[in-house]
Amino acid sequence: MIYRTETFSATPGWLVLSDGTAFEGEIVSSAALENQGVLAGGEVVFNTTLTGYQEVATDPSYAGQFVTFTNPHIGNYGCNDTDMESAKVRAAGIVVRDYSDIYSNYRATGSLLELTSAAGVPLFSGVDTRALTRHVRSHGALGAVIGTGSRAELAAAAGEHLTTTGKDLASGAGRGTRLAVPGDGPKVVALDYGMKTSIIRQLAQYFDLVVLPATATAEEVLAESPAGVFVSNGPGDPAAIDHSDAQLQGILGKVPLFGICLGHQLIAKAIGARTYKLEFGHHGGNHPVSRLSDRVVEITSQNHNYAVDRESLENAGVQAKVTHVNLNDGVVEGFALPAERAISVQYHPEAAPGPHDSYYLFEEFHRMVAEA
Is 340 a residue of the active site? no
Exposure letters 133-155 (e unless 16+ CB within 10 A, then b): bebbeeebbbbbbbbbeeeeebb
Adjacent-strand bridge partners of 94:
67, 123
Catalytic residue among 85, 261, 282, 324: 261
Is 43 a residue of the active site? no
What is the CA angle 186-191-197, rounded to 5? Answer: 85
d(CA 346, CA 331): 9
Burial tier of 83 (Cβ tally within 10 Å: 0-12, 13-18, 19+): middle
d(CA 260, CA 267): 10
Catalytic residue among 135, 264, 287, 348: 348
Is 348 a residue of the active site? yes
d(CA 255, CA 257): 6
Q: Residue type at 155?
A: A
Catalytic residue among 6, 43, 298, 350: 350
d(CA 350, CA 62): 16
**Cα separation values, 126 from 154, 161, 231, Å:** 18, 26, 38
Residues marked active site are found at 261, 348, 350
